[in-house]
Amino acid sequence: MDDIKSISDAVMPVIEQRIGAAPAIFNLWFGEVELISLSDTEAVFVAPTELKKKILITKYIHQMGNALEDVIGFTVEVKIVSRDELEEVEEFIEDDDDEDDIPVPDPTEEDDGKEEIISEFISGASDKPSMLDNYTFDNFVVGSSNTFAKAACMAVAKEPTVYNPLFIYGNSGLGKTHLLYAIINYMKHNHPNLKIVYKKCETFLAELIEALQAGFVAPFKEKYRRCDVLLIDDIQFLAGKEMTQEEFFHTFSALYESDKQIILTSDRPPKDIKPLSDRLKSRFEGGLLADVQPPNFELRIAIIRKKADDIGLTISNEMVEYMAERLQNNIRQIEGALKRLYAVCSFTATSVTKDKVDEVISIIDPGNIPADAMIERILGSVSKHYGVDIESMKSKKKTDSIAKARHVAIYLIRNMTSLTLKEIGGIFDRNHATVMASIDYVELNMRTVNGYEREIKQLKKEIKG
Ligand code: ADP
Ligand code: MG
């Protein structure tokens, strides 16, 4: 049963992504939907009420199927039942039902404006609060690529405005949103009185446009200026949006001047967000900039180990290392791969093998091919390009044309795979020093021979396909 729950948890965000509806709409229809059974041919979701079941069947069943396929890696027929039906058929026992048919957005709790902002934050985060709780400082794994960013976030979480604004940047899938959520979680526990507003930049933009269209901008401004901590995720979306930049600038300044904490994330540093007004750029640069870099091998291993343990996936060290070699640039991808592996292996009651890892990676990252397949491609392309057959490249022959092709093949393997010099030497039956010499040869030519660099780049492009 545990298995099905984690697949259910994994699939809901994918459904949300596929549907692309506003979080409130998504929660309305999917808030209490769960995957309750899965075989190799059929999946059953349960909806809390008849009405919701009907809506899901008429509007979303297709996307639910696709999302599930994303997660488990194979196609199944999707069925949706209501809680009532389930109870009739299976005497499914849960705590008492009487779910109301009316969608309840929950305007609960105390007043004082705080709650409103917190719920605002939750809907903006487009995650159920329980999911949000998963993103903490404790479960953020650190290595040299992200220690500084984490430390900066912790400093701000502990003592807001020590660094203001805090600007975190780095490629997608490297933990920026995780860090923002960790700050929020920390603050909710340790500074419960702070009014926190979290927004994805796109939501901020959408709200502003809506307010402008309705001719009713004051409440919008008011909401943002009333908070103590403002977190805007993916601020790069401000690029080129002049009017929004203008509005954001005023919000920013108002908060900043009244000593409120501002935390921003972006997929690039402020100087590369273009076009961005100079004054905003200098505001962004006026605080602390912290970057997150792609994880190195050790950190990837640590993350894979931890995430596998978290979801209860048994995986050998050898396979952990293999995954760490193949998935280098994106922690989100690593997580996705582990969840799929978990699904595939738990259904077939088999263990994680290299073939399964390859299969899962080919689905989540089609451009990422295994080293042996990559080597084959490189040898094939180089052979064709220079008219030298692969056997000759691997042989001891030293003819000029053969040696040239061999140098290039060696260089490309070094450049496009994570093989060590020694492993490359193994392919060509040569020692480590010879491999180095080939690489030097190509690098030197790229710098000095006209057109050579272009040729190598062209080859690389062909190989990537
Ligand atoms: P970004 O916002 O930079 O695109 P996210 O914060 O959404 O990336 O991270 C993608 C996924 O990877 C999340 O599920 C997150 O929990 C996980 N992740 C990223 N970095 C780490 C880390 N250092 N330790 C643990 N999980 C991480
Ligand atoms: Mg993010």
CA 255 to chain centre: 30
Whether the CB of 135 sits within 6 Å of ligand 1: yes
Residues sharing a CB contact under 8 Å with residue 384, sequence separation 6 or more, in sequence order: none
pLDDT, position 121? 46
Q: CA–CA separation, 4 vs 43, rounded Å?
A: 10
Q: Which residue puts its alpha carbon closest to atom 19 of ligand 1?
A: 175
What is the arithmetic mean of pLDDT over 93-102?
A: 30
Per the model's pLDDT, the better-predicted residue between 95 and 134 turns out to be 134
Substitution candidate for ligand 1 out of 127, 178, 265, 330 with most atoms within 8 A of CB? 178
What is the arithmetic mean of pLDDT over 47-59?
A: 87
Whether the CB of 388 sits within 6 Å of ligand 1: no
Question: Ligand 1: which atom is nearest the Cα of residue 146?
Answer: 23
In the structure, ligand 2 is a single-atom ion and the residues with CB under 5 Å from it are: 176-177
Question: Ligand 1: which atom is nearest the Cα of residue 306?
Answer: 25
For residue 118, what pLDDT band results from cuts at 50, 70 and 90?
very low
Which of the listed ranges 146-150, 243-247, 327-331 does the model predict with the highest average pLDDT? 146-150
Per the model's pLDDT, the better-predicted residue between 73 and 377 turns out to be 377
Instruction: Judge if the upstream peptide bond of residue 275 is cis by omega within 30 degrees of 0.
Output: yes
Q: Do the Cβ atoms of 198 and 125 come closer than 8 Å?
A: yes
What is the arithmetic mean of pLDDT over 83-94?
A: 50
Q: Which residue puts its alpha carbon closest to atom 7 of ligand 1?
A: 177
What is the arithmetic mean of pLDDT over 102-117?
A: 31
Question: Ligand 1: which atom is nearest the Cα of residue 134?
Answer: 16
How far, in Å, from the CA of 9 to the mean position of ligand 1? 17
How far, in Å, from the CA of 330 to the mean position of ligand 2? 12
**Burial (0-12, 13-18, 19+ Cβ within 10 Å), 413:** buried
How far, in Å, from the CA of 231 to the mean position of ligand 2? 12
β-pair partners for 37: 44
pLDDT, position 87? 64
**Among the four given CATH numbers 3.40.50.300, 3.10.50.40, 1.10.8.60, 1.10.40.60, the one describing domain 297-364:** 1.10.8.60
pLDDT, position 161? 94
pLDDT, position 338? 95
Whether the CB of 303 sits within 6 Å of ligand 1: yes
How far, in Å, from the CA of 178 to the mean position of ligand 2? 7
Residues sharing a CB contact under 8 Å with residue 359, sequence separation 6 or more, in sequence order: 73, 344
How far, in Å, from the CA of 332 to the mean position of ligand 2? 10
CATH domain 2-99 topology:
GMP Synthetase; Chain A, domain 3 (3.30.300)
Q: Which residue puts its alpha carbon closest to atom 25 of ligand 1?
A: 140
Question: Ligand 1: which atom is nearest the Cα of residue 267?
Answer: 3
pLDDT, position 2? 52
Whether the CB of 332 sits within 6 Å of ligand 1: yes
For residue 406, what pLDDT band results from cuts at 50, 70 and 90?
very high
Residue 342 half-sphere exposure, CB side, CA atoms within 13 Å?
26
For domain 371-464, the question of CATH label 3.30.2130.10 is answered with no
Token code pair at residue 31:
């808030």
pLDDT, position 125? 39
pLDDT at residue 157 is higher than 50: yes
Domain positions in the chain are 2-99, 122-291, 297-364, 371-464
pLDDT, position 126? 38
Among the bound ligands, name the one nearest to the CA of residue 176.
1
What is the arithmetic mean of pLDDT over 443-464?
A: 95
What is the arithmetic mean of pLDDT over 35-59?
A: 86
Give the chain's mean pLDDT.
87
Whether the CB of 172 sits within 6 Å of ligand 1: yes
User: pTM of the predicted model, to two decimals?
Assistant: 0.69
Matching CATH topology for 2-99 and 122-291? Answer: no
**Among the four given CATH numbers 1.10.1060.10, 3.30.830.10, 3.40.50.300, 3.30.365.10, the one describing domain 122-291:** 3.40.50.300
For residue 28, what pLDDT band results from cuts at 50, 70 and 90?
confident
pLDDT at residue 107 is higher than 90: no
Q: Do the Cβ atoms of 62 and 55 come closer than 8 Å?
A: no
H-only helix segments in 99-170 = 114-125, 129-132, 147-158
Q: Do the Cβ atoms of 323 and 337 come closer than 8 Å?
A: yes
How far, in Å, from the CA of 254 to the mean position of ligand 2? 25
